[in-house]
Chains A and B, each alone.
Chain A
Amino acid sequence: MIIYGVALLAFCYLVGQLLGEYLGLLIGVEANVGGVGFAMLLLVLLNDWLHKKGHLDLSTEAGMYFWNQMYIPIIVAMAATQNVKLAVTSGLIVVLAGSVPVILCIAVLPLLSRLSQVTPASRNGNPE
């Protein structure tokens, strides 16, 4: 059943987000700390476990892959709701304050990535 997949996804999402809320509360900040990350880890683990047990049929997986595929359309909708006007009209200080950090961080990325080089076997990006 498709709804089983959607419900499983919803379960992981809610548990992870709730954990993130409580972690934020615990360290005393007004923000969700890692909610999406916890939800993703839970989903990967649960999915793996259910798969091994043989509890996942095709339609259950379809319920999860639908949302997996809806990701880019939702990002497009999100882009359309950003406060772009504020960014464009706030002047040079804001443009610099927003882009200088990006440049700094990009500069250290190759360093960090080399520092922690993983074995070629665990890379599964798209080799070119």
Chain B
Amino acid sequence: MEILSKFLDKNGLIFTFLVVGVILYGSALLSKKLTNRKIPGSAIAIIVGLALAYLGGVYSGGQKGLADVPFFSGFGLMGGAMFRDFTVVATALGASLAVMRSTGWVGALSLLLGIVLSFLGGVLVALLWGYRDAVSLTTLGAGACTYIVGPVTGAAIGASSELIALSIAAGVVKTIVVTIGTPFIARSIGLNNPHTAMIFGGLMGTTSGVTAGLAATDPKLVPYGALTATFYTGLGCLLCPSALYLLMRMIF
């Protein structure tokens, strides 16, 4: 057992390749046999991944899902930001520059609207729960942008650690909602072309959620959604602790 544990720890990334391959194979099989390909295999695989992350978190008590479980530490590397961004960049190979250019100004508008609407949505929920001070409202509103904007904003304006934890959790919920929800609502909101995918990326902003959700919907749309979403967290970190915080201070 100890030898096996050490062995898998040493070869973590390679072992992860094998495990993920098995998950994707099983999901493709499920998609074909159970749903007649109505739910794409990649969507099932992503949901399996989230379920494993939950089990991993319960088992280890850590924050990184399955990656905190001894045998599966390789998931931390394969599922980390470096590999994610590297492969997202590679998806640009199939993308059309003309479409990217034609979406320019709406892309920027969608980013701005996405941040402001998400922020206000978060603030609204915080108001319902009885928060009335600008710092708490801003921190929760920022958390509703992404799970990075929340803690960055909270730390900048001096929020308590419980509030920062809440804002991170809100951001994580958003990522999961976008991941699971995108393939199901794509048809009804017209999310079937690169142009709409760019607007979608700007509005939602969570790079993980947008890229995973689009991958489960139609992999061709991934580069377009990612292109706008990648600006979101940075802009959110710029706007939330400054303009939007001042707005909250003026009102409350």
Q: Which residues of B contact A9 (CB under 8 A)?
A: 86, 89-90
Q: Count of chain B residues with Cβ under 8 Å from any Cβ of A?
A: 125
B135 within 8 A of A: no
> For residues 59 through 90 of chain A, which have their beta carbon under 8 Å from a beta carbon of chain B?
64-65, 67-68, 70-88, 90
Q: How far is the CA of A30 from the CA of B105 in the complex (A)?
A: 25
Q: Which residues of B contact A58 (CB under 8 A)?
A: none
A57 within 8 A of B: no
Q: Which residues of B contact A110 (CB under 8 A)?
A: 189-190
Q: How far is the CA of A108 from the CA of B95 in the complex (A)?
A: 25
Of A13, A81, A115, A124, the residue contacting B96 (CB under 8 A) is A124
Q: Count of chain A residues with Cβ under 8 Å from any Cβ of B?
A: 81
Interface of B is mostly: helix
Please, what's the 1-or-0 string for A23-65, where 1 marks a CB less than 8 Å from any CB in chain B?
A: 1100111111111110111011101100000000000000011
Interface of A is mostly: helix
Please, what's the 1-or-0 string for A99-128, where 1 marks a CB less than 8 Å from any CB in chain B?
A: 111111110111011011010001111111
Q: Which residues of A contact B154 (CB under 8 A)?
A: none
Q: Which residues of B contact A96 (CB under 8 A)?
A: 125, 128
B247 within 8 A of A: no
CB distance from A84 to the nearest CB of B (A): 4
Whether the pair B84, A74 counts as a contact (CB closer than 8 A) is yes
Of B120, B190, B196, B227, the residue contacting A40 (CB under 8 A) is B227
Tell whether A82 pairs with B227 under 8 Å between CB atoms, given A104-B120, A112-B110: no
Q: How far is the CA of A128 from the CA of B218 in the complex (A)?
A: 13
Tell whether A100 pairs with B124 under 8 Å between CB atoms, given A48-B97, A81-B80, A109-B200: yes
> For residues 152 through 183 of chain B, which have their beta carbon under 8 Å from a beta carbon of chain A?
152, 165-166, 168-179, 181
Whether the pair A100, B93 counts as a contact (CB closer than 8 A) is no
Q: Which 7 A-B pairs have the closest CB atoms?
A: A98-B173, A33-B234, A85-B57, A79-B49, A125-B193, A77-B79, A101-B121
Q: Please give the residue numbers on chain A whose beta carbons come within 8 Å of chain B beta carbons, in ascending order.
A: 9-10, 12-13, 16-17, 20, 23-24, 27-37, 39-41, 43-45, 47-48, 64-65, 67-68, 70-88, 90, 93-106, 108-110, 112-113, 115-116, 118, 122-128
14 further contact pairs, Cβ within 8 A, besides A99-B177, A109-B196: A20-B230, A28-B238, A32-B234, A36-B85, A43-B92, A68-B87, A82-B65, A85-B54, A86-B172, A98-B144, A98-B169, A109-B200, A112-B106, A125-B192
